[in-house]
Amino acid sequence: MQLTVGDKLFHLSVLGYLVLGSLGVLLIPFRTLEKWARTDQQPAALDWSAEQQAKMIGAVVEKVASHCFWRPSCLQQSVAVILMLRRRHIPSHLHLGVRQGENGLEAHAWVNVGEIAIIGGEIRPKYVDLL
């Protein structure tokens, strides 16, 4: 399937948000990042359009991230999604979880809009939610 010019531009903007998310995770102290991510905790009732838009953003971020040479982490992808959702005034919540892995603790980040996991949610039941 061929992408339209609008789709290509959207994918390019997602790449820009992934760069911002990656730089944010690398350069901003975690406490500051965590406080920033928690400002949208109270989701308002969303209409169907906003919910579909949020799901589409999550899917495209995952797709574009899979083609990036630096392989953005789940936290970097989650920050990119939150930035994109905030730009559209869609409230979201960043979750950080941990679990015991084979080589010690493993961490994972995902984003919810209301009760719906937008990105990173497919493996969230395996993690204890800390945020």
pLDDT surpassing 90 at residue 7 = no
Average pLDDT, the chain: 87
Q: Residue 117 to residues 19, 27, 30, 49, 109: CA-CA distances in angstroms? A: 22, 26, 22, 16, 11
Q: In this predicted structure, what is the pLDDT of residue 43?
A: 54
SS3 35: helix
pLDDT surpassing 90 at residue 30 = no
Q: In this predicted structure, what is the pLDDT of residue 62?
A: 95
